[in-house]
Structure formats: structure tokens, C-alpha cells
Chains A and B, each alone.
Chain A
Amino acid sequence: EAQVTQNPRYLITVTGKKLTVTCSQNMNHEYMSWYRQDPGLGLRQIYYSMNVEVTDKGDVPEGYKVSRKEKRNFPLILESPSPNQTSLYFCASSSPSLGVGEQFFGPGTRLTVL
């Protein structure tokens, strides 16, 4: 089954404790992206990657890092989480041949930073 998986699905952590949210897709998509969703603000793009070793900042990259060492994986790293990073995070993938706007989303990770 074609899918995007994220782990963990739920995470409660404390300020400053480094964490990684994993994202993996099995569709051989070149394009992957991370978003955060907050009430009233909608989905905002954090980082995206056009292919292996190619990443770029979205609209809200501060406080986040990403890496793309393999085509299928695109982890999101919070080196020193803060309470304002409490949010619902989605990973997505697509193929430029379809158009990057046609994305498949993971189920989301709900993060709470205390």
C-alpha cells in the first residue's frame, strides 16, 4: 500500500530536549516536505526537499533541521524544542512529474513541548 508514515504519532516532551520525528514514504517520490498546522494559521511549510541531499527552507524553518540522506526518509529534527513549537506536524511527499502540489500526507504527529 502506497503510504507516508510518521513516528511518533504523539509526543510530549520538555523544553530543550532534542527530538526527531521520522517520515518515510514508499512511493519513490522525489519531493518531500514538512508542515506544521496551528489553529487559525493553517498549514505552514517548514522545509522541503526536491531530492536526496537537496533541502530548502519553507516559510517557518526557525528552530528546525532536516536531512535527506535517502530518498524514502525525511526526518525533522528539533535541536532544542520550545513551547511555541507545540503543534500538529505533517510530512508529505509527491513526484514532480505529477506536480509537487499533488501531495500525499502522513497521518500527523502531535507534539507538545512543556
Chain B
Amino acid sequence: RKEVEQDPGPFNVPEGATVAFNCTYSNSASQSFFWYRQDCRKEPKLLMSVYSSGNEDGRFTAQLNRASQYISLLIRDSKLSDSATYLCVVTPRSSASKIIFGSGTRLSIRP
């Protein structure tokens, strides 16, 4: 089983829709969680950290569910510019320096 798993998608949704995707992790001792965004052939860029209480940044909401070992990303009022691959990232508590990326979920917003 992969340490971090994501549905590869693609998720194809109309502009203005709300879309959500999850990321599951296998190590219950995992420490920190993040969502990154990666455009085609570009470098990943940090979208947001995921806090235990959940957090929101504009149209984006991130949640952490430690009991079920997953994090989620919700995008409201999606824009064409939201089309990208979204990567979830986990740092295991056993090694604060090791970083594990999910394979990514591809999102395509259609006009």
C-alpha cells in the first residue's frame, strides 16, 4: 500500500462548480500535511497547509481527519485557472525531514 494515495482523476467539472478530493495516508503518526498545486510541466507550488482544525483560504478549504487518516481539499466557485494537478504532501513524524508526495489528482475546469 502506498504511504499517500490520491485518486488520479481527472475530475472534469464546469466553471463555478464546487469540487472536492481526498488524500489518504497510511502512517497514523504523520505530522504535517499540505496541498500543492502543479501546472503542466511546471514546478509544484504550495497551495496551503492543512491544520487540525481545518483552514480556509478564499475559495479553498482544507480539512484533516486524523481518525480516518485523510485530508481533503474543497474548491468552491471553480475557475478555469484552477485547472491543474493537486498534490497532497505528508511529513511522517518518524522523520521530520522526510517528505512524501501523493501522485496527484488532475482537475480540469471546463467553460
- Name A's B-contacting residues (CB within 8 A): 31, 33, 35, 40-45, 48, 50, 56, 58-59, 90, 96, 99-108
Among B32, B33, B42, B97, the residue within 8 A (CB) of A56 is B97
Interface size on B, residues (CB 8 A): 23
- A66 to B44, alpha carbons, bound, how many Å? 22
Q: CB distance B49 to A42 under 8 Å?
A: no
Name which of B13-21, B64-72, B73-81, B98-106 contacts chain A.
Answer: B98-106
Q: Contacts A42-B102, A90-B43: A100 and B34 contacting too (C-beta < 8 A)?
A: no
Residues of chain B lying within 8 A (CB to CB) of residue A35: 101
A-binding residues in B (CB < 8 A): 8, 32-34, 41-46, 49, 87, 89, 91, 96-104
- Asked if A102 and B34 make an inter-chain contact with CB atoms under 8 angstroms apart, the answer reads yes
CB neighbours (8 Å) of B98 from chain A are: 45, 48, 58
**Chain B residues near A40 (CB, 8 Å)?**
8, 103
Contact between B91 and A102 (Cβ–Cβ < 8 Å)?
no
Distance A99 CA – B91 CA, assembled complex (angstroms): 10
B98 to chain A, nearest CB (A): 7
